[in-house]
Structure 1
Amino acid sequence: MNAFRYELAPVDETFFDIAPMRRRIGLELAADPDEVWAGLTSPRPLSWCRALGDVHYSSEPPYGVGTTREASVLGAYRMRERFFRWDEEARHKSFYATESTLPLFESFAEDYHVLPFDGGSKLVWSFAFSPWRRLDSALQLGRPLADSLLASLVKDTRAHFGPLTEVR
């Protein structure tokens, strides 16, 4: 398996507003907020997402600020992650990547916020990153792949928790 050879810079919650590349997705889901939160905080979070081969916590429970996790994306790229926000009551958590197997990003972070919404829930899923300095223009060319990956995550999450309204 590929070794973690590339360090990424730590970030905080302001990164979601200032990162050079940002994406925020709002998913209206049929499942109640507690069920969605349980899926995001289970020992194998995001197991329903086909593009994510293996996502698991490398810290022991209980999980919270400082928890670490490892994730595999498309079977070829792996990241180590550290959570800097974890609020059970608000169902809100955020991490930044600390290391990766390929030099794609200077910094990378995700934020998950689960809210009650219209008889179900709304998952606000945010991504923010700074491309690795030598890949800035190459990542622009890779945008269709990134868009396809995000579309896959959205589709799989809707299929797992059920869409609040039919999505065509």
Structure 2
Amino acid sequence: MNAFRYELAPVDETFFDIAPMRRRIGLELAADPDEVWAGLTSPQPLSWCRALGDVHYSSEPPYGVGTTREASVLGAYRMRERFFRWDEEARHKSFYATESTLPLFESFAEDYHVLPFDGGSKLVWSFAFSPWRRLDSALQLGRPLADSLLASLVKDTRAHFGPLTEVR
């Protein structure tokens, strides 16, 4: 039986500006931009994030537009993802979720952009989603859990690459 029972609608880069729910986080990191990009594009990206159990590409390298990936969140929720932007030179990639194991979202997307910044790098990490129509009010109630999850991702990423403020 296929655990990925729920299809999500595809989106493009405009979704990060128009989605009903959006978060954009700027992380100033001590690591150089190439090191951060390498961590985000490694065979097991985001392995330092405790809330993400298993994130791995389901496509063969080289990775780029069309690459697919699977991710497990808190061990209970899984998504399949497809990258619609992948720019090695600009260190910028974006995906949308194609399927999930639970009906939480109509659409879900993430964007990662790594920039040189003040002797280190800046990771601009964006999340955009439309809640599943039947769960709109339930997701509003789940906002504290979502905020806690994002705070965990930020904390783990800063710990892994080092916050820029510690090297000044």
- In the superposition, the TM-score normalised over structure 2's length comes to 0.98
SS in 2 for 1:123: strand
Whole-angstrom distance in 1 between the partners of 2:105 and 2:94:
17
Deviation of the 1:2 alpha carbon: 7.1
Percent of residue pairs identical: 99
Any stretches of 5+ residues in structure 1 without a counterpart?
none
CA contact (8 A) 2:57 2:68 kept: yes
Whole-angstrom distance in 1 between the partners of 2:74 and 2:46:
13
Computed over aligned residues only, the root mean square deviation of the Cα atoms, in angstroms, reads 1.7
Whole-angstrom distance in 1 between the partners of 2:14 and 2:163:
30
Deviation of the 1:113 alpha carbon: 0.1
Whole-angstrom distance in 2 between the partners of 1:133 and 1:167:
45
Deviation of the 1:166 alpha carbon: 4.2
Whole-angstrom distance in 2 between the partners of 1:99 and 1:125:
21
Residue-by-residue CA offset, 1:63-84 (whole Å, 9 max, x unaligned): 0000000000000000000000
Deviation of the 1:102 alpha carbon: 0.0
CA contact (8 A) 2:30 2:167 kept: no
Whole-angstrom distance in 2 between the partners of 1:2 and 1:138:
25
Deviation of the 1:167 alpha carbon: 11
Whole-angstrom distance in 2 between the partners of 1:126 and 1:159:
19
Whole-angstrom distance in 2 between the partners of 1:137 and 1:19:
16
Whole-angstrom distance in 2 between the partners of 1:93 and 1:122:
14
Query: What corresponds to 1:52 in structure 2?
Result: 52
Query: What corresponds to 1:61 in structure 2?
Result: 61
**Alpha-carbon distance change, 71 to 46 in structure 1, aligned in 2, over 3 angstroms:** same
**Alpha-carbon distance change, 113 to 87 in structure 1, aligned in 2, over 3 angstroms:** same
Higher mean C-alpha deviation, range 1-10 or range 93-102: 1-10
Deviation of the 1:123 alpha carbon: 0.0
Query: What corresponds to 2:6 in structure 1?
Result: 6
Query: What corresponds to 1:157 in structure 2?
Result: 157
SS in 1 for 2:156: helix
Whole-angstrom distance in 1 between the partners of 2:100 and 2:151:
23
Whole-angstrom distance in 2 between the partners of 1:107 and 1:90:
25
Q: Which has more helix, going by share of residues?
A: 2
Whole-angstrom distance in 1 between the partners of 2:49 and 2:58:
19
Query: What corresponds to 1:33 in structure 2?
Result: 33
Whole-angstrom distance in 1 between the partners of 2:132 and 2:144:
18
Matched residue count: 168
CA contact (8 A) 2:29 2:123 kept: yes
1:74-113 maps to which residues of 2 (within 5 A)? 74-113=74-113
Residue-by-residue CA offset, 1:45-72 (whole Å, 9 max, x unaligned): 0000000000000000000000000000
